[in-house]
Structure 1
Amino acid sequence: MAATDDDVGWWVVGYDGWTDLDLIRARLAAGADPNSGVRIFEKPLHIAAEQGSPEVVAELARRVDDVDAEHRGRTALWMAVFEGRVDNARALLAAGADPWRLMMDGWSPGRLSLAGPTPDLFPVPSPEIGLSEAEAAAAAEAKRLIPALGDFYHGGLSLACVADVSAAEATARLEAAPADDVDIDVLYEAWWNIPDADSIVGITGVPGGCVITQPWGLTPSTPGVVKRVSRGTVCYSMYSNPKGGIFGHIARHGVVVAWEPDSAYMVPPDAVADKILAAHLYRNHPVAFCCAGANLRPADARPIIGPADSWLRLPERDY
């Protein structure tokens, strides 16, 4: 009986399988193509660079036709650098990958590494290759903002980060009223017992604008909210679904335009340079990503997790 694609392919390699050198070698021995065939990711070396082990990366790198082959505009080395997989990047470098090959709107793997925690990962061939003043400032702010916010569980949390709009102005745009009659402590502990809990939001002014937050629901991230507060400015929003996944909207001048990418494969091939940098700097940090997108500069996580400066009741409408 003839072998099927499943018999010789990569289908048995799960998310964690790309760290299993024996499994990868067995797949290759069975006839799996080292150059292609992985669902979604397509190229085995790319997925190994992003989530595998350096041993698997080295094994695949010596089997592929071209260690610098691109998929969706980026090489495996770019993937390793983007995801902060330094050991994988070193394995690819040893296999002959080019860290200064331009791709992704001018972001070579080497130049992208200059914005991260290991700027000395690759020898820089020329002083002219480096970060612009704006890029260096963005990288420095990420190094400040992420630890300033710290680590906290944000399942069920939603927020809207509004640039250049005060808390008072955002309140007016939402036509919201003070929620002085609400016991916020009770709301935190048992929001599901409060009939209009989804209409209660916190708001706090921060350097650069304001943050609208709701620790128990998605209201601040909805189109109806972000459209109203983003007139003449930009609003980055997110909702952390406790069942899994980060969702949200970006609105500019009252129009929802997109939810920005949070992973390497979600960065479109035609993304512009500053969007690529932001996705790299704030990967796995969606709250900081939203703050930075709106150029907000909170000193800590209080505007997000509370207590908020004010609590508001939004008018009843379809958000």
Structure 2
Amino acid sequence: MGGVVRIGVRGGKVTGRDDGWAGVGWEGWKDHDGIRRRLDQGADPEVWSGGRPLHRAAVFGSPEVVTELARRVADVDALENGTTALWEAVLSDRPDNARALVAAGADPWRPLIGGWSPGRLSLAGPTPDLFAVPEGERGLSEAERTAAQEGRRLVAALGSIHYEGTGLACVAGIDAEEGIRRLEATPAGGEELEERLEDPYAYELDECLQVVGVTTVPGGCVVTQPWGYAPSMPGVLTRLSSGTVCYGLYANPKSGNQGSIVRNGGVEGWDLHPGGGPDLDDTPEEVLTSYLYRYNAVAYSCAFAGLRLTDARAIVGPPDMWVELPQRDYWEH
């Protein structure tokens, strides 16, 4: 990553000064000797490529680098995009870096996004004993503890699956049979389907876009297409969501995860980014959900709809039933 060139005026002449971080890649933030040498040579401890070096080190660096930078900055709790370096360390599951920041004076209990502090957020994560909870500081509510337990269970149940290129519709409160009825889909089968399933990428997407899998799961059903976006099309989601809510996901190989929320036939959210970190305007509930399912768009999508999958079969197959959608313009709501 290149550094930002800062422009100043000296002796009546415009001069360009690099912030000193040019060429530092993600792995470079673990190199204590290299980072210290740059700092000693004048690298700016407050600026890196438009952000803050301490935030980068909190996520990608070593505790030694975090400690080195923390003692050189003016404020160890300075904000970047509304969060502190300690928040980023907690969000990224870097407990050693979090401890180094607290040792340098960072405040674990400073409220940030949605009223959550780094310390309180850590109570819902894999290291709930990361910080001692001071007297008077509230912990998790019963509902938040339950959500955290379910988050860990669901992520473990899905395991490590390859879902790039997959389309999903996670639907609350209806089973596969009702989902098929709402879509007016018909059973698919025979030799042609078997050939397509054997190697779907041997076909043009339009040739097998109408074929989706539908599976009943605890809490509702999942419509899946491991090779395409069909389940996430608006016309599919609006039909499925009558009287309920569904979350659509397309794991676009070109542009990343694309999410959508459709409730009772109405689109509430589009071009969302499930599995990313919390946004500044998130509610407390949204912050917790984003934390629990960070880096896991499939688990996030299932959890949003209240689905409690016990394994990944509904996502990767084989589904309860393969069906064929009728020919329609599914880009119309």
Mapped partners of 1:276, 1:292: distance in 2: 13
What is aligned with 1:262? 275
Post-superposition CA distance 1:143-190 (Å, at most 9, x none) = 111111111222222211111122222223322222134654422222
Mapped partners of 1:4, 1:117: distance in 2: 45
What is aligned with 2:63? 54
Letter in 2 for 1:293: F
49-58 or 131-140, which moves further after superposition?
A: 49-58
Mapped partners of 2:201, 2:115: distance in 1: 49
Post-superposition CA distance 1:91-131 (Å, at most 9, x none) = 10111111111111221111001001111110111265110
What is aligned with 2:133? 124
2:82 matches 1:70 = no
Q: CA deviation at 1:248?
A: 2.6
Q: CA deviation at 1:261?
A: 4.5
Mapped partners of 1:273, 1:313: distance in 2: 40
Mapped partners of 2:41, 2:19: distance in 1: 5
Mapped partners of 1:16, 1:250: distance in 2: 37
Percent identity between the two aligned chains:
54
Query: How has the CA–CA distance of structure 1 residues 227 and 29 changed in structure 2, closer, same or farther, with 3 Å as cutoff?
Result: farther
- Normalised by the size of structure 2, how large is the TM-score? 0.87
Q: What is the 5 A alignment of 1:135-284?
A: 135-181=144-190, 183-194=192-203, 196-243=207-254, 245-253=256-264, 254-258=266-270, 259-264=272-277, 267-284=278-295
Letter in 1 for 2:279: P
2:107 matches 1:98 = yes
Letter in 2 for 1:268: D
Post-superposition CA distance 1:42-81 (Å, at most 9, x none) = 1211121122221221111111111111222221111111
What is aligned with 2:119? 110
Q: Greater strand share, 1 or 2? A: 2
Mapped partners of 1:32, 1:271: distance in 2: 35
Letter in 2 for 1:203: V
Mapped partners of 2:139, 2:92: distance in 1: 20
Preserved CA contact (<8 Å) 2:172 2:244: yes
**1:134 counterpart (143, 147, 153):** 143
Query: How has the CA–CA distance of structure 1 residues 75 and 61 changed in structure 2, closer, same or farther, with 3 Å as cutoff?
Result: same
Letter in 2 for 1:123: A
Query: How has the CA–CA distance of structure 1 residues 25 and 128 changed in structure 2, closer, same or farther, with 3 Å as cutoff?
Result: closer
Query: SS where residue 164 of structure 2 aligns?
Result: coil
Q: What is the 5 A alignment of 1:76-95?
A: 76-95=85-104
Letter in 2 for 1:208: G
Letter in 1 for 2:287: I
173-182 or 160-169, which moves further after superposition?
A: 173-182
94-103 or 171-180, which moves further after superposition?
A: 171-180
Gaps in structure 1 of 5+ consecutive residues: none
Kindly report the root-mean-square deviation, in angstroms, between the aligned alpha carbons of the 2 structures. Answer: 2.1
Mapped partners of 2:52, 2:231: distance in 1: 38
Mapped partners of 1:188, 1:15: distance in 2: 39
Query: SS where residue 214 of structure 2 aligns?
Result: strand
Query: SS where residue 105 of structure 1 aligns?
Result: helix
